A and B are shown apart, each in its own frame.
Chain A
Amino acid sequence: MAPNSVRQIATVIKYELLKYLRGRRLLAIVLLTIIISAIFLIVPPAIGTAYPKDPTDFITRVLSFLGVLSILSATFFGADAIVSEYESKTGYFLFPNPIRKTAIFVGKFIASALVSVGAIGLYYVIAVVSVRVIDGSIPANTGLSFAYSLIYLFAILAIAYLFSAIMRSSVYSLVLTFFTFFLILPIIDAVGSVAKFKPWFSVTFANGISQYIFQNPYPADKVFTTTAAGGPSAGVQTYSLVQYYPEIRLSVIVMAAYFVVAFVLSIILARRREM
């Protein structure tokens, strides 16, 4: 008699984690986290400059690769989670068992979320411990920043998962995930500054709250104006840029919405997908 779905999900998580532990990606993420943190901790004394005096400045600097690390985690652990079962034919082994496909895909998602949270968590632990040791205090709002980072992580992991439910090949899914968060959305965010619309709907823009939350007071949108001399006939021109800052509550809602919609959609599509 096959156990209920909750116990089966636990089984799927267990074996997914085992696969991650034996694979190279988890090792790569952990090493990267350590190397990135080490750069911020080792380089200043090595070149004879002091660490930032302000613990807030310091932690923001150490955590400045948060976005990159989250995107890499989502790509490594989410972007081929579903497509690989079809593409590499392991589905022929797993699917004909007495288990709901939903249980398989939920289990896989939880496993990838666990390892991603582990990687981001490690980054925060290193950051907090080093700031505590060097500056003697932990910046206010570190906990909130961590919470926001996790919401962002879940959102992009779910989007990566959705890509992996749609795409026909792991490679395309990995590339699409990476470029969406590394290139496409950041470009939209940047265009917003020039074209003067606030990209509140962009998940990468919303993720700014995990960094800005350290600033006191929380920053407000700013307009920068620059004047530049044009050609001989053009005279003097004025350019203006707006530096937009994500609003906290809206951004949390936006990221949570991405997570819920992408997750539900990915499960529906994965269930319908044929081998």
Chain B
Amino acid sequence: MYKTVNALYRQQQIGFLQRECKQRHAEKVSMMESIVIEHLSKKYGQFVAVNDLNLTVEQGVCVGYLGPNGAGKTTTIKVLTNLLRATNGKAYLNGIDVIHHPKAALEGVGAVVETPEFYPQLTPDECLSYVGTIRGMSGEAIAERSHAVLEQVKLLEVADKRTGQFSKGMKQRLAIAQALLHEPSILILDEPTSGLDPRGMVEVRDIIKGLIKTDITILMSSHLLYEVQEVCDKVAIIDRGVLLTYDSVKNLSAGQDVTVTITTLDPITRPEFEAIKALKDVTSVKRTETLALKLSFSGGPETQFHVLRGILNTGVKVVSYMPQRAAIEDVYLQLVPEGEA
């Protein structure tokens, strides 16, 4: 009886907090907006690490958070996860003000910030039980979910070994496991694949891709642009604490020329070269080696296909046809100026 009354009371409290935040926000925060950052600034002494940042992530969307070293990505994420106090501005998670009500706001959030360390005396199972209990999960739920997430990150074999001797990548896997334990509605990840071996990166990317099919909201900082292009719906780029752009991957890549490298079986003849150059949509062609060409065209996958067919029609024996780099990379390189981090 007491328990239910207590739970009811707490639910009311959360409800109250949510209503309060909503009201304060006039209709701006709807429940469809999982993460709302408004005029957020963070100073370390005089140094401005995040400067008047505004960012809204709708429910179910995966946002890649990009920027050079020292741009302020981790700082933003730390404010969202109650590790830093903001100097100015507001941040809401599921409609709850995380700066003033971190306990309620972090309820549905799973986070990996930097590469966390674990208590060396505890095992992965115990670490997960610890945070699971803090989150109010039942013993059975913890056991069941621990098994599931440790299996996902391939740590099941060491589930009862102390974490003291774990490698960096193993700790990163455990960090991801603890973030997923309670099936969060918001996932905040700071370079989730850093420190992982190649297979680990693919596995974690697959886990994230699997989650994207659900209505989970993800904010993920990364330096791996192809990873972001592959996984995320939207991209936010920040530099020196200032948001440079925030748009869908599709929109950002649309305006970008695609560069592909072609390698051929035989050297390309002059007429073949001219024929390729004359193909529709192709903007530039450059011979890089005897058996290799680099050409650019504007357009999406459709154009990419037509260009390839056009090249094959000229009679060139194409051995490989590889997009040079992610379109996001071009956007990034255009927006983020050269210079020291």
Name A residues whose Cβ lies closer than 8 Å to a Cβ of B.
1-4, 8, 11-12, 15, 18-19, 22-23, 88-101, 272, 274-275
B114:A18 contact, CB within 8 angstroms: no
The interface residues of chain B lying within 8 Å CB-to-CB of A101 are 82
Which among A1, A2, A96, A275 has the highest number of chain B CB atoms within 10 Å?
A96
Enumerate chain A residues within 8 angstroms of B109, measured Cβ to Cβ.
96, 98
Establish whether residues A95 and B81, one from each chain, have CB atoms under 8 Å apart when the complex forms: yes
Query: Given known contacts A4-B6, A98-B107, is B81 in contact with A19 (CB within 8 Å)?
Result: no
Flag B245-286 by CB within 8 Å of A: 1 or 0 each: 000000000000000000000000000000000000000000
Is the CB of B113 closer than 8 A to any CB of chain A?
Answer: yes
Q: Given the complex of chains A and B, what is the CA–CA distance between A101 and B162 in angstroms?
A: 25
A91 to B113, CA, bound (A): 10
Contacting A at CB under 8 A, from B171-195, are: 175, 178, 188
Q: CB within 8 A of B116: which of A2, A15, A92?
A: A92
* Chain A residues near B116 (CB-CB < 8 A): 89-90, 92-93
Q: Which residues of B contact A (CB under 8 A)?
A: 6-7, 10-11, 78, 81-85, 102-107, 109, 111, 113-119, 121-122, 126-127, 130-131, 133-136, 162, 175, 178, 188
Do residues B119 and A98 form an inter-chain contact, with CB atoms below 8 A?
no
Q: Judging by beta carbons under 8 Å apart, are A274 and B83 in contact?
A: yes
> For residue B115, which residues in chain A have a CB less than 8 angstroms away from its CB?
89, 92
8 A–B contact pairs at CB < 8 A? A1-B10, A2-B103, A22-B121, A90-B118, A96-B83, A98-B109, A274-B85, A275-B83
Q: What is the CA–CA distance of A92 and B110 in the complex, to the nearest angstrom? A: 12
Q: Give B85's nearest chain A residue, CB to CB.
A: A274
Per the bound structure, the CA–CA distance linking A136 and B106 in Å amounts to 60
Contact A3 B114 (CB under 8 A): no
Which chain A residues lie closer than 8 Å to B111 at the CB level?
96
Known: A18-B121, A98-B103. A2 touches B135 (CB 8 A): yes
A8 touching B134 by the CB < 8 A rule? yes
B105, B122, B188: the one contacting A15 at CB < 8 Å is B122
Q: Contact check: which of A98, A272, A275 meets B135 at CB < 8 Å?
A: A98
* A3 and B117 form a contact (CB under 8 A): no
Measured between beta carbons, the chain A residues less than 8 angstroms from B11 are 1
Contact yes or no, B122 A19, CB < 8 A: yes
List residues of chain B with CB within 8 A of the CB of A8. Answer: 134
Chain B residue numbers with a CB within 8 Å of A98 are 102-107, 109, 134-135
Q: Are B7 and A1 in contact (CB under 8 A)?
A: yes
By the criterion CB–CB under 8 Å, are A18 and B122 in contact?
yes
Which of B114, B119, B135 is A92 in contact with, Cβ under 8 Å? Answer: B114
> Are B118 and A93 neighbours in the complex by a CB distance under 8 Å?
yes
Counting chain A CB atoms within 10 Å of each CB, which of B11, B103, B107, B114 scores highest? B103
Closest Cβ of chain A to B44, distance in Å, is: 9
Which chain A residues border B178 with CB–CB below 8 Å? Answer: 93
The 9 closest A-B pairs by CB, nearest first: A92-B116, A22-B121, A96-B81, A275-B83, A89-B117, A93-B116, A96-B111, A98-B106, A3-B136
Task: Say yes or no: A2-B107 contact (C-beta < 8 A), given A19-B121, A95-B81, A275-B78.
Answer: yes
A91: chain B residues within 8 A (beta carbon) = 83
B-chain residues with CB within 8 Å of residue A95 when the two chains form the complex: 81-83
Contact B134 A97 (CB under 8 A): yes
Whether A92 touches B83, Cβ cut-off 8 Å, given contacts A4-B6, A98-B134, A99-B103, is yes
Say yes or no: B83 contacts A100, CB within 8 Å: no
- Of the residues A18, A88, A99, contact of B117 by C-beta under 8 Å: A88
Please indicate the chain A residues that have their CB under 8 angstroms from the CB of B106 in the complex. Answer: 96-98
Contacts of A94 in B (CB 8 A): 131
B-chain residues with CB within 8 Å of residue A97 when the two chains form the complex: 106, 131, 134-135
Residues on the A chain within 8 Å of B103, using CB: 2, 98-100
